[in-house]
């Protein structure tokens, strides 16, 4: 049931928030000292557009990217379904002295909670797997975009989610379906978090939905957005501890044996 799946994922993300706040991966101290937490991909592509704009950040976790976008000159609102994450985001905003609004809400329910419209809607890295319904997601994006407003996403590539857990160079087997299934994948026995594999996580199971590239494109266009570009990259940013991923000197992860030839991430820029 959707409520059960969402409840489990919420328990997970509430628990992860505490772990992530203390993790080297998220480096809150570095952020407070001025570090921009955006990855180069989105910093290069959407960064130049944000100054002076109102920006809505969907699935913002505990807000470090949201606050980094505020430092780059955007007037920011961050949304996440985890109350722990939103509490942490507000605390860090206070501590850093950055003006920001944080709202606790599911993406799907956001129009019930939040008023207004935005110049930019932004979302990034590991967000889509937590959404059961991309059509609703795209409608929410369109709802909050001002006419002419811009939507931007940087995300792991759907092809990458097809690889078997234990795939390796020369043995790149498929382990998961490419296509969306309304019934999510139940994932258990995850050790720790992507930000700290040694952490103890009590929540025993998480639920993830695959979405294809076509699902993303078609949901956005059906909601009335016009695509400006789709980019694909042979690297991923962020969580790089998949067994088949090697981390390069640029901090990006690439697929062992197909370092320049396998798509691991995409970005999409669209407007209303």
Among 2, 186, 187, 230, binds other proteins (CB under 8 A): 230
Instruction: Please give the size of the binding site for other proteins, defined by CB under 8 A.
Output: 32
Is 116 buried (19+), middle (13-18) or exposed (0-12) by CB count in 10 A? exposed
245 close to 211: Cβ distance less than 8 angstroms: no
Q: Name the minimum Å distance from CB 227 to other proteins.
A: 6
Q: Which is nearer to other proteins, 16 or 236 (CB)?
A: 236
Strands 265-271 and 226-233: antiparallel
Q: What are phi and psi of 148, to 5 degrees?
A: 85, -5
Among 231, 241, 250, 251, binds other proteins (CB under 8 A): 231
Does position 184 interact with other proteins (CB under 8 A)? The reply is no
154 close to 65: Cβ distance less than 8 angstroms: no
Does position 234 interact with other proteins (CB under 8 A)? The reply is yes
Does position 174 interact with other proteins (CB under 8 A)? The reply is yes
Does position 162 interact with other proteins (CB under 8 A)? The reply is yes
Q: Which is nearer to other proteins, 46 or 93 (CB)?
A: 46
Contacting range for other proteins; rule: CB under 8 A; set: 74-82, 118-126, 144-152, 226-234: 226-234
Residues from 186 through 215 that contact other proteins (CB under 8 A): 212-214
Does position 23 interact with other proteins (CB under 8 A)? The reply is no
Does position 165 interact with other proteins (CB under 8 A)? The reply is no
Give dist(CA 119, CA 149) in Å, integer.
Answer: 5
Does position 109 interact with other proteins (CB under 8 A)? The reply is no
DSSP H helical segments within 24-119, as ranges?
Answer: 28-32, 40-45, 64-71, 83-96, 110-113
Nearest of 181, 159, 178 to residue 233 by alpha carbon? 159
154 close to 121: Cβ distance less than 8 angstroms: no
Please report, as ranges, the residues that interact with other proteins according to CB under 8 A.
159, 162-163, 171-174, 176-179, 212-214, 217-218, 221-222, 226-232, 234, 258, 260-263, 266
């Amino acid at each position: 049931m959707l409520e059960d799946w969402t409840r489990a994922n919420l328990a997970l993300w509430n628990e992860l928030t505490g772990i992530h706040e203390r993790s080297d991966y998220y480096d809150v101290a570095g952020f407070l000292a001025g570090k921009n937490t955006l990855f180069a991909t989105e910093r290069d592509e959407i960064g130049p557009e944000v100054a002076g704009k109102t920006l809505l950040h969907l699935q913002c976790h505990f807000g470090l990217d949201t606050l980094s976008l505020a430092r780059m000159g955007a007037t920011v609102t961050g949304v996440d379904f985890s109350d722990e994450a939103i509490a942490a985001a507000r605390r860090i905003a206070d501590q850093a002295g950055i003006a920001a609004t944080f709202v606790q809400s599911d993406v799907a329910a956001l129009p019930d909670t939040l008023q207004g419209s935005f110049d930019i809607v932004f979302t990034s890295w590991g967000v889509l797997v937590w959404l059961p319904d991309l059509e609703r997601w795209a409608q929410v994006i369109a709802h909050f975009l001002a006419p002419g407003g811009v939507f931007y996403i940087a995300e792991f590539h759907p092809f990458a989610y097809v690889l078997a857990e234990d795939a390796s160079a020369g043995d790149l087997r498929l382990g998961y379906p490419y296509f969306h299934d309304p019934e999510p994948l139940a994932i258990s026995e995850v050790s720790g978090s992507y930000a700290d594999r040694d952490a103890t996580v009590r929540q025993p199971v998480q639920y993830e939905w695959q979405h294809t590239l076509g699902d993303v494109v078609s949901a956005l266009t059906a909601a009335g957005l016009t695509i400006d570009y789709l980019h694909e990259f042979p690297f991923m940013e962020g969580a790089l501890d998949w067994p088949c991923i090697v981390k390069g000197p640029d901090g990006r992860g690439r697929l062992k044996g197909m370092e320049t030839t396998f798509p691991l991430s995409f970005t999409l820029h669209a407007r209303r």
